[in-house]
Amino acid sequence: MSVLVLAEHDGKQLKPGVTNMLTAAAKLGDVTVLVAGTQASEAAQAAAKVAGVKKVLLTEAPIYEGSAAENLAALVLTIAEQYSHILGPASAFGKNVLPRVAASLDVQQISEISAVESPDTFVRPTYAGNAMATVQSSDRIKVITVRATAFDPAGEQGAAPVENLAPGPDLGLTQYKGSELSKSERPELTAARIIVSGGRGMGSAENFKLIEALADKLGAAVGASRAAVDSGFMPNEYQVGQTGKIVAPELYIAVGISGAIQHLAGMKDSKVIVAINKDAEAPIFSVASYWLVDDLFKAVPELTKELSS
Amino acid sequence: MKVLVTVKRVIDPYVKVRVKSDGSGVETANIKMTMNPFCEIAVEQAVRMKEAGVVTEIVVVSVGAQQSQETLRTAMAMGADRGILVDAGVDVEPLAVAKLLKAIIAKENPQLVITGKQAIDDDSNQTGQMISALMGWPQATFISTITVNGDTADVTREIDGGLEKLTIKLPAVVTSDLRLNEPRYVTLPNIMKAKKKPMEVIKPDALGVDVTPRLKVLKVQEPPSRSAGVKVADVKELVAKLKNEARVI
């Protein structure tokens, strides 16, 4: 079995979750990592040092600026037939590119796997993680996206060889016009050891300062429920849930979050969950390791203060 | 400009799904069904573009069982002009849906296809991208804004670190994210009007598409449940538990 993994990176480093995906890939066979971008050699060197990687393919060209789904899929297709499996992350990046690869190969993609049972059988969450489906693929090439939080990160190794791969065609279908990335000193949501999230109960964008103060005290990332995003308290990239980011930190503190099915889907695999809510009947308490029934506007500043002492 | 919008009938997002005891799937009998929320956003976007004079006709398509006609009627009550049901039964995989849509697109010639970014039942997040690949068209997934300028469109995409802006050539496929718009409520007069709008029902065979599944579902199980938690009396006790029991801070 030979496995091609499409790496997500920022040019210099691999994105959080890629090493977890490589753990899943190593269960399937010999792993080749494809690192493509406008400038990506540092990221390719980083990929070469992840345990289990046999070879890294590096492609650098201006046509891979931005998300570049069409051109990236076309690049993967130039080498796809050499592999039994093609994997990508179940992130906004991977979800954008992989289905395009799958359809072009006439393959039914297997989305967001959480376990590898055998080379053709995988477990994947459906219905916001409320039903875990074990599926067997009859396709000749398996195209898969991987849920990073379901796998441990792979360790390190002596560097595998890095080879150049010629760029694929430029389809010229889309023009990249730039991006606005949130700048934050805090850890990235999907890589954070601790996350403090706020929900509709926060009442306003202004009140999220309470969440940020607690997060900074803990060295944590800040998250938000879909209700808080819907209400305009926080930008969408902070959204944790079925339709946002899937996280599984060591500690997840849910503040003023009632616990809608779609939010639970994004965080219920966290190791320790703390819920603070004034409603004693809030569904979030059903998944909480520790819960406190209290007014968040009193409890959160108190918690921040208690942690300082 | 003609727009084609896809809609899917799914279990209501506020219903707690239950796995069948024989592990063959989830209970769907006597369960409240609704239009997939992201499809609602897709329909709303098309209707707003029509109200703004950018779009002249909205064709709404669903692949599913006969009951999906209700979902199409809802889309028509929101403002879509006519509906097409591909009567293919339930659990048609995204690749097959994309092939069916390709066949319909070939007949209808829309300039823009809007799909939801994902259906909240199967959570695949594939169909829009697959349609785009099969057509050889540009794609813009997870969009929060779209402005059409002649034969191109400017879009904003929601990506993991923030936002991305693209200009795409038309025809193209876009998939809706949460903040594209807030769908309207359908009114009774519009529901009555929607009943008179044209609805076509076709079989997959008529489109020359094989919808045989590629994935075999071996079993469906409940996720592992979390062990019961502890209620704490105050912040002091919470901090003590996190430090001494859970040892996470």
Domain ranges within chain B, ordered by starting residue: 2-221
Cα gap A192→A216, rounded to integer Å: 12
Per residue in A287-299, pLDDT tens?
Answer: 999 999 999 999 9
Q: What is the pairing mode between strands B33-35 and B9-11?
A: antiparallel
Interchain CB contact of B244 with A (< 8 Å): no
- Report the CATH architecture of B2-221: 3-Layer(aba) Sandwich (3.40)
User: Per-residue pLDDT tens for A11-57?
Assistant: 999 999 999 999 999 999 999 999 999 999 999 999 999 999 999 99
Would you state the structure tokens that stand for residue B57, as one six-digit string? 């006709």
pLDDT of residue B192: 97
In chain A, the largest separation of any two C-alpha atoms, in whole Å, equals 60
Q: What is the pLDDT of residue B240?
A: 96
pLDDT tens per residue across all 249 residues of chain B? 999 999 999 999 989 899 999 999 999 989 999 999 999 999 999 999 999 999 999 999 999 999 999 999 999 999 999 999 999 998 899 999 999 999 999 999 999 999 999 999 999 999 999 999 999 999 999 999 999 999 999 999 999 889 999 999 999 999 999 889 999 999 999 999 999 999 999 999 999 999 999 999 999 999 988 888 999 999 999 999 999 999 999
Q: Which of A73, A126, A306 sits opposite B123 (nearest CB)?
A: A126
| C-alpha closest to that of A58 among A79, A40, A81, A78 | A40
Residues in B touching A135 (Cβ below 8 Å)? 215-218
Q: What pLDDT is attached to residue B226? A: 85
Tokens of A84: 């039994």
Q: Please report the pLDDT score of residue A133 as a whole number.
A: 98
Q: Residue B193's pLDDT is what?
A: 97
Q: Which amino acid is at A5?
A: V
The secondary structure of A13-41 as a DSSP string is SBPTTHHHHHHHHHTTSEEEEEEEESS-H
Cβ neighbours of residue A147 closer than 8 Å, sequence gap 6 or more: A90, A112, A113, A114, A124, A125, A246
User: Token pair for residue A208?
Assistant: 């999220």
Distance CA B61, CA B98 (A): 12
Residue B51: the pLDDT is: 98
Chain B residue with Cα closest to A190: B160
Contacts of residue A73, Cβ cutoff 8 Å, sequence gap at least 6? A97, A100, A101, A104, B133
B22 burial type by CB count under 10 A (0-12 exposed, 13-18 middle, 19+ buried): exposed
Q: What is the pLDDT of residues A226-245, one digit of tens each?
A: 999 999 999 999 999 998 99
Q: Between B68-78 and B188-195, two packed helices, what is the crossing angle to 10 degrees?
A: 120
Q: Residue A255's closest CA among A282, A216, A236?
A: A282
Alpha-carbon distance B249 to B247, whole Å? 6
Nearest to A218 by CA among A167, A253, A257, A180: A253
Choose among A99, A175, A245: nearest Cβ to B130. A99
The per-residue b/e assignment along A242-259, b for 16 or more CB within 10 angstroms, e otherwise, is: bbbbbbbbebbbbbbbbb
Q: Is B141 on the interface with A (CB under 8 A)?
A: yes
| Nearest-CA distance B6 → chain A (Å) | 17
| Pair A119, A29: CB distance under 8 Å | yes
- pLDDT over threshold 90, residue A114: yes
Residues A185-207 have a mean pLDDT of: 95
Question: Which residues 6+ apart lie within 8 Å of B142 measured at CB?
Answer: A92, A96, B117, B157, B158, B159, B175, B176, B177
Residue of B11, B161, B236 lying closest to A237 (CB–CB):
B161
Q: What is the mean pLDDT of residues A190-212?
A: 97
Of B38, B154, B246, the CB nearest to A289: B246
Calculated CA dihedral for residues A234, A239, A244, A245, nearest 10 degrees: 140
Phi-psi region of B142 (alpha: psi -120 to 50; beta: other; left: phi over 0): left
C-beta atoms of B26 and A127 within 8 A: yes
Question: Which helix (H) or strand (E) segment is B155 a member of?
Answer: strand B152-159
Q: How far is B240 from chain A (nearest CA, A)?
A: 10
Is the CB of B11 less than 8 angstroms away from the CB of A111?
no
The reply to whether omega before B171 is within 30° of 0 (cis) is yes
User: Predicted confidence band at A275 (pLDDT cuts at 50, 70, 90)?
Assistant: very high
Cβ–Cβ contact B32 with A under 8 A? no
Which strands sit side by side in the sheet containing A272-277, from one edge to the other? A221-224, A194-198, A251-255, A272-277, A290-293, B230-232
Tens of pLDDT, residue by residue over A117-166, are 999 999 999 999 999 999 999 999 999 999 999 999 999 999 999 999 99
Average pLDDT over residues A105-110: 98
If you average pLDDT over every residue of chain A, what do you get? 96
CA distance B240 to B232: 10
**Separation CA A252–CA B71 (nearest Å):** 38
User: How many Å apart are CA A59 and CA A75, to the nearest integer?
Assistant: 9
Nearest-Cα residue of chain B relative to residue A294: B234
At A223, which amino acid appears?
G
Model ipTM value: 0.95
CB < 8 Å to A306, chain B = 235-236, 239
Residue B228: its pLDDT value, please?
86
